[in-house]
Protein backbone atom coordinates (compact mmCIF):
# COMPACT_ATOMS: atom_id res chain seq x y z
CA UNK A 1 0.00 0.00 0.00
CA UNK A 2 1.30 3.38 -1.05
CA UNK A 3 2.03 5.75 1.78
CA UNK A 4 -0.48 8.59 1.90
CA UNK A 5 0.79 11.80 0.34
CA UNK A 6 1.50 14.45 2.89
CA UNK A 7 -1.23 17.06 2.90
CA UNK A 8 0.15 20.31 1.54
CA UNK A 9 -0.19 23.17 3.92
CA UNK A 10 -1.81 26.20 2.34
CA UNK A 11 0.76 28.96 2.03
CA UNK A 12 0.14 31.59 4.62
CA UNK A 13 -0.15 35.01 3.11
CA UNK A 14 2.25 37.53 4.65
CA UNK A 15 0.24 40.18 6.44
CA UNK A 16 0.43 43.48 4.63
CA UNK A 17 2.38 45.94 6.71
CA UNK A 18 1.24 49.53 6.80
CA UNK A 19 2.84 52.60 8.31
CA UNK A 20 0.83 51.92 11.51
CA UNK A 21 3.02 48.87 12.12
CA UNK A 22 6.05 51.09 12.46
CA UNK A 23 4.79 54.39 13.83
CA UNK A 24 5.80 54.94 17.46
CA UNK A 25 3.02 55.62 19.96
CA UNK A 26 2.22 59.26 20.59
CA UNK A 27 4.40 59.66 23.69
CA UNK A 28 7.40 58.00 22.08
CA UNK A 29 6.93 60.00 18.89
CA UNK A 30 6.91 63.24 20.83
CA UNK A 31 10.20 62.29 22.48
CA UNK A 32 11.71 61.29 19.15
CA UNK A 33 10.67 64.58 17.53
CA UNK A 34 12.03 66.68 20.39
CA UNK A 35 15.36 64.88 20.41
CA UNK A 36 15.91 65.10 16.71
CA UNK A 37 14.95 68.76 16.49
CA UNK A 38 17.15 69.65 19.48
CA UNK A 39 20.07 67.76 17.91
CA UNK A 40 19.51 69.55 14.60
CA UNK A 41 19.45 72.98 16.27
CA UNK A 42 22.82 72.23 17.82
CA UNK A 43 24.62 70.50 14.97
CA UNK A 44 23.07 71.57 11.65
CA UNK A 45 25.60 72.49 9.01
CA UNK A 46 25.50 76.04 7.75
CA UNK A 47 24.52 75.49 4.11
CA UNK A 48 23.66 78.37 1.78
CA UNK A 49 20.23 77.02 0.78
CA UNK A 50 19.22 76.84 4.43
CA UNK A 51 19.17 80.64 4.57
CA UNK A 52 16.33 81.08 2.12
CA UNK A 53 12.67 80.31 1.55
CA UNK A 54 12.86 81.40 -2.09
CA UNK A 55 11.43 78.43 -4.04
CA UNK A 56 13.70 79.14 -6.99
CA UNK A 57 16.87 78.95 -4.91
CA UNK A 58 15.62 75.86 -3.14
CA UNK A 59 14.77 74.24 -6.46
CA UNK A 60 18.30 74.89 -7.76
CA UNK A 61 19.82 73.41 -4.61
CA UNK A 62 17.59 70.36 -4.52
CA UNK A 63 18.16 69.51 -8.18
CA UNK A 64 21.92 69.91 -7.81
CA UNK A 65 21.92 67.77 -4.66
CA UNK A 66 20.08 64.92 -6.35
CA UNK A 67 23.23 63.28 -7.64
CA UNK A 68 26.03 65.34 -6.16
CA UNK A 69 27.59 65.61 -2.69
CA UNK A 70 26.85 68.67 -0.56
CA UNK A 71 30.46 69.90 -0.48
CA UNK A 72 30.76 69.75 -4.26
CA UNK A 73 27.41 71.45 -4.82
CA UNK A 74 28.14 74.62 -2.79
CA UNK A 75 30.46 76.40 -5.32
CA UNK A 76 28.27 75.35 -8.27
CA UNK A 77 25.15 76.58 -6.47
CA UNK A 78 26.71 79.98 -5.77
CA UNK A 79 28.02 80.36 -9.32
CA UNK A 80 24.72 79.29 -10.87
CA UNK A 81 22.79 81.85 -8.85
CA UNK A 82 25.34 84.54 -9.74
CA UNK A 83 24.72 83.75 -13.41
CA UNK A 84 20.92 83.38 -13.06
CA UNK A 85 19.90 85.23 -9.91
CA UNK A 86 16.14 84.97 -10.45
CA UNK A 87 13.63 82.54 -11.84
CA UNK A 88 12.93 84.99 -14.65
CA UNK A 89 16.59 85.33 -15.58
CA UNK A 90 16.86 81.56 -15.90
CA UNK A 91 13.64 81.31 -17.90
CA UNK A 92 14.78 83.82 -20.55
CA UNK A 93 18.41 82.62 -20.75
CA UNK A 94 19.63 80.68 -23.75
CA UNK A 95 19.58 76.96 -22.99
CA UNK A 96 23.16 76.78 -24.26
CA UNK A 97 24.23 79.24 -21.54
CA UNK A 98 22.46 77.19 -18.86
CA UNK A 99 24.18 74.02 -20.06
CA UNK A 100 27.53 75.84 -20.11
CA UNK A 101 26.97 77.05 -16.57
CA UNK A 102 26.28 73.46 -15.48
CA UNK A 103 29.75 72.32 -16.64
CA UNK A 104 31.45 70.07 -14.09
CA UNK A 105 28.32 68.97 -12.24
CA UNK A 106 27.39 66.10 -14.55
CA UNK A 107 23.92 64.71 -15.27
CA UNK A 108 23.40 67.64 -17.62
CA UNK A 109 19.73 66.87 -18.13
CA UNK A 110 19.16 68.44 -14.72
CA UNK A 111 20.16 71.83 -16.15
CA UNK A 112 17.57 71.57 -18.90
CA UNK A 113 14.92 70.40 -16.46
CA UNK A 114 15.49 73.33 -14.10
CA UNK A 115 15.11 75.73 -16.97
CA UNK A 116 11.96 73.96 -18.21
CA UNK A 117 10.47 74.26 -14.74
CA UNK A 118 11.43 77.96 -14.62
CA UNK A 119 9.82 78.59 -18.02
CA UNK A 120 6.65 76.78 -16.97
CA UNK A 121 6.36 78.78 -13.75
CA UNK A 122 7.07 82.05 -15.59
CA UNK A 123 4.65 81.09 -18.39
CA UNK A 124 1.45 79.23 -17.56
CA UNK A 125 1.78 79.85 -13.81
CA UNK A 126 2.30 83.61 -14.17
CA UNK A 127 5.57 83.66 -12.24
CA UNK A 128 4.24 82.04 -9.06
CA UNK A 129 5.26 78.55 -8.04
CA UNK A 130 2.38 76.21 -7.18
CA UNK A 131 2.54 75.34 -3.50
CA UNK A 132 1.12 71.86 -3.03
CA UNK A 133 3.05 68.64 -3.54
CA UNK A 134 0.55 67.48 -6.17
CA UNK A 135 0.75 70.72 -8.17
CA UNK A 136 4.52 71.02 -7.86
CA UNK A 137 4.86 67.57 -9.40
CA UNK A 138 3.15 68.87 -12.54
CA UNK A 139 6.23 71.00 -13.27
CA UNK A 140 8.78 69.47 -15.66
CA UNK A 141 11.46 67.40 -13.96
CA UNK A 142 9.97 67.67 -10.45
CA UNK A 143 9.32 64.33 -8.78
CA UNK A 144 7.80 63.48 -5.39
CA UNK A 145 10.99 64.19 -3.44
CA UNK A 146 11.67 67.64 -4.91
CA UNK A 147 7.97 68.54 -4.63
CA UNK A 148 7.96 67.61 -0.93
CA UNK A 149 11.20 69.50 -0.33
CA UNK A 150 9.87 72.63 -2.05
CA UNK A 151 6.50 72.47 -0.29
CA UNK A 152 8.12 72.13 3.13
CA UNK A 153 11.27 74.29 2.78
CA UNK A 154 9.83 77.11 0.68
CA UNK A 155 6.17 77.15 1.64
CA UNK A 156 6.32 75.87 5.21
CA UNK A 157 3.97 72.98 4.57
CA UNK A 158 3.97 69.85 6.70
CA UNK A 159 4.76 67.72 3.68
CA UNK A 160 7.06 64.73 4.11
CA UNK A 161 9.71 63.93 1.56
CA UNK A 162 12.01 60.96 1.22
CA UNK A 163 15.52 61.07 -0.15
CA UNK A 164 18.17 58.38 0.32
CA UNK A 165 19.19 59.72 3.74
CA UNK A 166 15.65 59.96 5.11
CA UNK A 167 14.79 56.53 3.71
CA UNK A 168 17.76 55.00 5.52
CA UNK A 169 16.85 56.63 8.85
CA UNK A 170 13.21 55.59 8.57
CA UNK A 171 14.10 52.01 7.78
CA UNK A 172 16.75 51.54 10.41
CA UNK A 173 15.09 53.49 13.18
CA UNK A 174 11.45 52.49 12.81
CA UNK A 175 11.30 49.38 10.64
CA UNK A 176 14.36 47.40 11.68
CA UNK A 177 17.67 46.04 10.43
CA UNK A 178 18.43 45.44 6.80
CA UNK A 179 17.78 43.46 4.70
CA UNK A 180 14.25 42.86 6.09
CA UNK A 181 13.51 46.56 6.31
CA UNK A 182 14.39 47.07 2.66
CA UNK A 183 11.28 45.18 1.49
CA UNK A 184 8.90 47.71 3.00
CA UNK A 185 7.20 49.50 0.16
CA UNK A 186 7.94 53.13 -0.65
CA UNK A 187 4.29 54.09 -0.21
CA UNK A 188 4.36 52.71 3.34
CA UNK A 189 7.56 54.63 4.06
CA UNK A 190 6.05 57.84 2.72
CA UNK A 191 2.96 57.41 4.91
CA UNK A 192 5.25 56.69 7.84
CA UNK A 193 7.37 59.76 7.08
CA UNK A 194 4.23 61.88 6.88
CA UNK A 195 2.94 60.57 10.22
CA UNK A 196 6.17 61.71 11.93
CA UNK A 197 6.13 65.35 10.81
CA UNK A 198 5.56 67.62 13.83
CA UNK A 199 2.72 69.99 12.90
CA UNK A 200 4.02 73.40 11.86
CA UNK A 201 7.64 72.21 11.51
CA UNK A 202 7.66 70.31 8.21
CA UNK A 203 10.63 72.14 6.71
CA UNK A 204 12.98 71.89 9.65
CA UNK A 205 11.86 68.32 10.33
CA UNK A 206 12.74 67.15 6.84
CA UNK A 207 16.09 68.94 7.06
CA UNK A 208 16.80 67.30 10.41
CA UNK A 209 16.00 63.82 9.10
CA UNK A 210 18.25 64.38 6.11
CA UNK A 211 21.03 65.71 8.29
CA UNK A 212 20.87 62.68 10.55
CA UNK A 213 21.15 60.38 7.54
CA UNK A 214 24.01 62.42 6.11
CA UNK A 215 26.09 62.74 9.29
CA UNK A 216 25.17 59.95 11.71
CA UNK A 217 22.94 57.24 10.27
CA UNK A 218 25.21 57.04 7.28
CA UNK A 219 25.30 54.39 4.57
CA UNK A 220 27.61 51.61 5.71
CA UNK A 221 28.21 51.69 9.44
CA UNK A 222 26.06 54.21 11.34
CA UNK A 223 27.55 56.18 14.19
CA UNK A 224 24.97 55.12 16.77
CA UNK A 225 26.98 56.45 19.71
CA UNK A 226 26.24 59.97 18.50
CA UNK A 227 22.65 59.37 17.46
CA UNK A 228 19.87 61.31 19.20
CA UNK A 229 17.38 58.60 18.21
CA UNK A 230 19.26 55.71 19.75
CA UNK A 231 16.62 55.09 22.42
CA UNK A 232 13.91 54.95 19.74
CA UNK A 233 15.78 52.86 17.20
CA UNK A 234 14.69 49.29 16.45
CA UNK A 235 17.93 48.41 14.73
CA UNK A 236 19.99 49.65 17.63
CA UNK A 237 17.79 47.82 20.14
CA UNK A 238 18.06 44.55 18.21
CA UNK A 239 21.78 44.98 17.73
CA UNK A 240 22.49 45.59 21.40
CA UNK A 241 20.25 42.67 22.36
CA UNK A 242 22.40 40.42 20.15
CA UNK A 243 25.72 41.91 21.23
CA UNK A 244 28.13 39.42 22.81
CA UNK A 245 28.72 40.18 26.48
CA UNK A 246 32.42 40.74 26.99
CA UNK A 247 34.73 43.11 28.65
CA UNK A 248 34.64 45.46 25.68
CA UNK A 249 33.54 49.00 26.28
CA UNK A 250 29.89 49.84 25.81
CA UNK A 251 30.78 52.08 22.88
CA UNK A 252 32.73 49.46 20.96
CA UNK A 253 30.16 46.80 21.77
CA UNK A 254 27.28 48.83 20.43
CA UNK A 255 29.30 49.85 17.40
CA UNK A 256 30.15 46.31 16.45
CA UNK A 257 26.68 45.11 17.37
CA UNK A 258 25.01 47.60 15.10
CA UNK A 259 27.40 46.74 12.33
CA UNK A 260 26.46 43.12 12.88
CA UNK A 261 22.74 43.84 12.77
CA UNK A 262 23.10 45.88 9.59
CA UNK A 263 25.32 43.42 7.81
CA UNK A 264 23.77 41.89 4.75
CA UNK A 265 23.74 38.11 4.39
CA UNK A 266 26.83 36.80 2.61
CA UNK A 267 24.86 35.50 -0.36
CA UNK A 268 23.69 39.00 -1.19
CA UNK A 269 26.77 40.08 -3.06
CA UNK A 270 26.59 43.57 -4.44
CA UNK A 271 25.93 43.68 -8.16
CA UNK A 272 29.02 44.80 -10.03
CA UNK A 273 28.41 48.28 -11.35
CA UNK A 274 28.85 48.97 -15.02
CA UNK A 275 32.03 50.95 -15.50
CA UNK A 276 31.25 54.57 -16.34
CA UNK A 277 34.26 55.04 -18.60
CA UNK A 278 33.41 53.94 -22.11
CA UNK A 279 29.66 53.76 -21.44
CA UNK A 280 27.13 55.67 -23.52
CA UNK A 281 26.63 57.99 -20.56
CA UNK A 282 30.32 58.77 -20.67
CA UNK A 283 30.20 59.65 -24.36
CA UNK A 284 27.02 61.70 -23.94
CA UNK A 285 28.96 63.80 -21.44
CA UNK A 286 31.88 64.06 -23.87
CA UNK A 287 29.59 65.35 -26.65
CA UNK A 288 28.08 68.01 -24.40
CA UNK A 289 31.52 68.96 -23.06
CA UNK A 290 32.84 69.38 -26.60
CA UNK A 291 29.88 71.53 -27.63
CA UNK A 292 30.34 73.72 -24.57
CA UNK A 293 33.72 74.80 -25.92
CA UNK A 294 32.24 76.17 -29.17
CA UNK A 295 31.42 79.87 -29.59
CA UNK A 296 27.69 80.68 -29.23
CA UNK A 297 25.57 79.19 -32.04
CA UNK A 298 28.60 77.49 -33.65
CA UNK A 299 28.09 73.92 -34.85
CA UNK A 300 30.34 70.92 -35.33
CA UNK A 301 29.76 68.42 -38.17
CA UNK A 302 29.03 64.80 -37.20
CA UNK A 303 32.14 63.53 -39.00
CA UNK A 304 34.36 65.82 -36.89
CA UNK A 305 32.46 65.23 -33.66
CA UNK A 306 33.01 61.44 -33.66
CA UNK A 307 36.83 61.44 -33.46
CA UNK A 308 36.76 64.32 -30.98
CA UNK A 309 34.67 62.48 -28.42
CA UNK A 310 35.99 58.95 -28.97
CA UNK A 311 39.68 58.35 -29.62
CA UNK A 312 39.03 55.02 -31.38
CA UNK A 313 36.12 56.31 -33.46
CA UNK A 314 35.76 54.98 -37.00
CA UNK A 315 33.22 55.96 -39.71
CA UNK A 316 31.55 52.57 -39.10
CA UNK A 317 30.30 54.02 -35.83
CA UNK A 318 28.23 56.76 -37.46
CA UNK A 319 24.94 55.11 -36.54
CA UNK A 320 26.05 54.76 -32.92
CA UNK A 321 27.02 58.46 -32.83
CA UNK A 322 23.74 59.56 -34.38
CA UNK A 323 21.78 57.46 -31.89
CA UNK A 324 23.78 58.97 -29.06
CA UNK A 325 23.14 62.50 -30.31
CA UNK A 326 19.47 61.62 -30.93
CA UNK A 327 19.13 60.81 -27.24
CA UNK A 328 20.69 64.15 -26.33
CA UNK A 329 18.25 65.92 -28.68
CA UNK A 330 15.31 64.21 -26.97
CA UNK A 331 16.64 65.39 -23.61
CA UNK A 332 16.89 68.95 -24.89
CA UNK A 333 20.66 69.05 -24.51
CA UNK A 334 21.72 69.47 -28.14
CA UNK A 335 20.26 70.46 -31.48
CA UNK A 336 20.96 69.07 -34.97
CA UNK A 337 21.41 71.65 -37.71
CA UNK A 338 21.81 70.06 -41.15
CA UNK A 339 24.61 67.53 -40.67
CA UNK A 340 26.06 69.24 -37.62
CA UNK A 341 25.37 69.59 -33.91
CA UNK A 342 25.29 72.43 -31.39
CA UNK A 343 23.95 73.34 -27.97
CA UNK A 344 20.30 74.46 -28.17
CA UNK A 345 20.26 78.27 -28.35
CA UNK A 346 16.51 78.70 -27.89
CA UNK A 347 15.12 81.06 -25.28
Environment class of 311 (CB within 10 Å of its CB; exposed 0-12, middle 13-18, buried 19+) = exposed
Distance CA 193, CA 134 (A): 17
Q: Which is nearer to ligand SF4, 252 or 280 (CB)?
A: 252
Q: Which is nearer to ligand SF4, 148 or 222 (CB)?
A: 222
Q: Confirm if 246 and 42 have CB atoms less than 8 A apart.
A: no
Distance CA 145, CA 336 (A): 33
Q: Which is nearer to ligand SF4, 119 or 167 (CB)?
A: 167
Which residues bind to ligand SF4, rule: CB under 6 A?
A: 169, 172-173, 216-217, 222, 224, 227, 229-230, 233, 235-236, 258
Environment class of 47 (CB within 10 Å of its CB; exposed 0-12, middle 13-18, buried 19+) = middle
At residue 315, what are phi and psi to the nearest 5 degrees?
-55, -25
Catalytic choice (62, 178, 211, 335): 62
Residue 174 Cβ vs ligand SF4, minimum distance, rounded to whole Å = 9
Q: Is 62 designated active site?
A: yes
Residue 287 Cβ vs ligand SF4, minimum distance, rounded to whole Å = 42
Q: Which is nearer to ligand SF4, 100 or 230 (CB)?
A: 230
Residue 31 Cβ vs ligand SF4, minimum distance, rounded to whole Å = 14
Q: How many residues does the chain have?
A: 347
Q: Which uninterrupted H or E stretch holds 262?
A: helix 250-262
At residue 335, what are phi and psi to the nearest 5 degrees?
-135, 140
Q: Which is nearer to ligand SF4, 219 or 298 (CB)?
A: 219
Residue 33 Cβ vs ligand SF4, minimum distance, rounded to whole Å = 14
Closest CA to 61 of 74, 45, 46: 74
Distance CA 319, CA 196 (A): 52
Residue 87 Cβ vs ligand SF4, minimum distance, rounded to whole Å = 37
CA dihedral 214, 34, 60, 215 (to 10 degrees): -10
Closest CA to 85 of 120, 57, 117: 57
- Catalytic (active-site) positions: 62
Amino acid sequence: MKPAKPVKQAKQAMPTRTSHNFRPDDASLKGLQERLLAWFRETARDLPWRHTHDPYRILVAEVMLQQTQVERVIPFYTAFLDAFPTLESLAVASTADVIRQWAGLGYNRRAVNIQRAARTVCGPYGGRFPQTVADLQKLPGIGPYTAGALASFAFGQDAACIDANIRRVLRRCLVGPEPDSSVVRERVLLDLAQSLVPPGHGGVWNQAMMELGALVCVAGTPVCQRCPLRDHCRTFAMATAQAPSSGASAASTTASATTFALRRPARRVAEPRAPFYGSNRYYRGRVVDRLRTLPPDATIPFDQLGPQVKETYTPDEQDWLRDLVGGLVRDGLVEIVGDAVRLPPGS
